Each structure stands twice: as C-alpha cells, then as structure tokens.
Amino acid sequence: MLLQHSTWQEIDAFLKRSKAIVIPIGSTEQHGPTGLLGTDYLCPELIAHEAQKSADLLVAPPFLVGMAQHHLGFAGTISLRPSTMVASIFDWVHSLARHGFERIYFLNGHGGNVATINAAFSEIYASASFAARSSGFALMQRNWWELAGVRELAEAQFPVGHGTHATASEVAVTQAAYPIKHASYEPKIAPTGPIYDAIDFRRRYPDGRMGSDPAQATPEKGRALIELAAASLVKDFAAFAG
C-alpha cells in the first residue's frame, strides 16, 4: 500500500490494523556517467514497492534529497545541510506520529545520510526525554544493502569493481526499472579514497565513480537484487513492527 496513492480514509483504516510505516530515504546526487541522479532514493523505493506487493505494508513517499554536499561539483546534485535534514526528518516523524504511527522504519539508500539520520533520531528522542515524556514511537534505520543476503548476492554478482559509489549493484537496481544508459569508462575501475568537500571530490573522482565498474550492471542482476531485498525487508520490517 502506497501512502501517496491512498485517501486519508484508507490511511485511517490502515491504522486500525497497523501503526507501522516504511519511508524510503536517499539522495539526489550524481552517480557517475551512467547512474541516475535519483539512484539513492530509487533503490529503496523500488525495493519497498516490491515488498508491499506481498505484504500488508504501508510505504510513504520517498525522502528525495539527502546530505550530499560532496557531490555538488557535479551538475544536478541537490543537497541539504545536515541541520536542515535533521529538522526535516523531525517534522516527517512528528507528522506521522500525530496520526498514530508508532513504528517508523527508514529504508536508506545513501551512505552519506547515515550519520545525519542517526543525529535526527537522537534529536527526536531528546525532545521527548527533556520534556519528561515518552516519545510514543520507535524509529529504525536500515540501509537496503544491509538487508539479509543482499551484500552476499552483490558480491557474487560483482566480485571485482563493485565499488563504494555509483556501485554496480545500485546501478543494476535502477536499470531493472528505468532505461539503461551507456558510457565508456576510463579507467575501467574508478579510483578510491577519502571524501572531503565537493571540490576535492571532483578532483579525486573526475567522472563521479568511486572504485566501481558499473558496466557490469544489468537489469536482470538488478531484478534479482530487488526481489531478494524485498523479501528480506518484509521480514525485517515485521520484526520491528511487532
């Protein structure tokens, strides 16, 4: 069930049988010559949408923009300051809690979001603790590549050149749903190293990739990743919601 495709009456009825919701969260940022700018929110969105086909699971609209300042040297990237993202998550959570949601599960697709999402959770819990009251809800963050079996499948599909940004697996996942984009890579496997500011990132990784060879990605590999991740999400979410 998709929240944005539902009426308020349908959500009201859903809350009578479940008070849990999944929020796909990611980023709008460069993903190399062939990766879509929306890759980091599209991956968790595609997985969550697949999961709700076989389970009584409510999926919120995706949180599209994340903490991506280091990618601002590439056209199209949109980034939030960490403080802005914390405030936005705070408002999303309290909006949902206002309606009665008690288990709010963020399925994340961008490694650069992890610290900020955790900081947001701490701020949200602190606001309740300092007021000497219960928050009334529980929050969880799960990176989609950490769902059971997903990392192992990606390593089997891409034993060399999987990378850490514009990875072969995330490009494959988006290819399962969106037209394939092709480009030549030089070098075949991108360099890897640290991440600092946007200017430094563009200098170190001129085409935007980090350690990856996305030419290995195929829609078939992406579909396999989506199906496995969706099945794992159903189980992980059920354990949290319960």
- 2-17 pLDDT, tens digit each: 999 999 999 999 999 9
Whether residue 113 contacts residue 147, with contact meaning beta carbons closer than 8 Å, is answered with no
Average pLDDT over the chain, rounded to an integer: 97
Q: Could you give the strand order of the β-sheet that contains 138-143, starting from the edge strand earlier in sequence?
A: 20-25, 103-108, 138-143
| Superfamily of the domain at 3-241 | Creatininase (3.40.50.10310)
Tens place of pLDDT per residue across the chain (242 aa): 999 999 999 999 999 999 999 999 999 999 999 999 999 999 999 999 999 999 999 999 999 999 999 999 999 999 999 999 999 999 999 999 999 999 999 999 999 999 999 999 999 999 999 988 899 999 999 999 999 999 999 999 999 999 999 999 999 999 999 988 888 899 999 999 999 999 999 999 999 999 999 999 999 999 999 999 999 999 999 999 98
Residue 100's region, left for phi above 0, alpha for psi from -120 to 50, else beta, is left
List b or e across 216-238, with b for residues whose CB sees 16 or more CB atoms inside 10 angstroms: bbbbebbbbbbebbbbbbbebbe
- 80-94 pLDDT, tens digit each: 999 999 999 999 999
Structure tokens at 17: 């049988």
Report CA torsion sign: 181, 204, 25, 138. positive
Whether residue 154 contacts residue 169, with contact meaning beta carbons closer than 8 Å, is answered with yes
